[in-house]
Amino acid sequence: MQKDALDRVALIFTLFDHNGNGHLEAEDFEIMAADVVKAAPDSDETAKDAMRTAFQRYWETLVDELDSDRDGEITFDEYTAVVLSPERFDATISDFAESLAALGDPDGDGLIERPVFVALMTAIGFERANIDALFDAFGPSASDQITVSTWVKGIKDYYSPTKTGIAGDHLVSGATV
């Protein structure tokens, strides 16, 4: 286990606890899905529905795989097991990554502008400085755009326990977790 991956996981747990009660439950994902969809006013209903479904699937996968004591909530200790068998989350994370990146590209040209990226990542709960650092690490074009595929890969890398020194680490540096 790499420290980088654990730091990334710890940050996600903190952000995903959207109602701030110290554990993850279905309500956190409902609130977060609503916040993220609200941050994508130019996206069509199909893309928004895909995002809501991806958040719901994310929660269902977590509770299926990690809720050791079966109380319907995921504590931090339960959550850290996510890094022990990442392959069980691959399909869910892929679906989540593709749905989120698609929301960032409402006009479907395969490119994501910085303000759209910032709005979505802010809705999830990341800090502005870290969001900008991540966008810069993705190597934006002269017109300050990144590709959808770059973001999808970045999200998957973020969840990969074996990856270190990746763009996504910019989300963790300096963050209060």
In Å, what is the CA distance from 156 to each residue of 43, 89, 119?
22, 10, 20
Coil, strand or helix at 12:
helix
Instruction: Kindly tell me which of 147 and 160 has the beta carbon lying closer to Ca ion.
Output: 147
In Å, what is the CA distance from 114 to each residue of 74, 94, 120, 151?
33, 22, 10, 12
Q: Does 105 bind Ca ion (CB under 5 A)?
A: yes
Contact 86, 161 (CB under 8 A): yes
Q: Does 101 bind Ca ion (CB under 5 A)?
A: no
Identify any residues that bridge with 145 across adjacent strands, giving them in sequence order. Answer: 113
Which residue among 42, 44, 60, 71 contacts Ca ion (CB under 5 A)?
Answer: 71
User: Which residue bears the tokens 């755009």?
Assistant: 145
Q: Does 98 bind Ca ion (CB under 5 A)?
A: no
User: Which residue bears the tokens 């993220």?
Assistant: 36
Q: Does 149 bind Ca ion (CB under 5 A)?
A: no
Q: Does 173 bind Ca ion (CB under 5 A)?
A: no
Backbone phi, psi, residue 101, to 5°? -65, -35
Which residue among 30, 65, 67, 127 contacts Ca ion (CB under 5 A)?
Answer: 67
d(CA 160, CA 87): 9
Instruction: Kindly tell me which of 47 and 167 has the beta carbon lying closer to Ca ion.
Output: 47
Q: Does 21 bind Ca ion (CB under 5 A)?
A: yes
Instruction: Kindly tell me which of 30 and 73 has the beta carbon lying closer to Ca ion.
Output: 73
Q: Does 87 bind Ca ion (CB under 5 A)?
A: no
Q: Does 143 bind Ca ion (CB under 5 A)?
A: no
Binding site for Ca ion (CB under 5 A): 17, 19, 21, 28, 67, 69, 71, 73, 105, 107, 109, 111
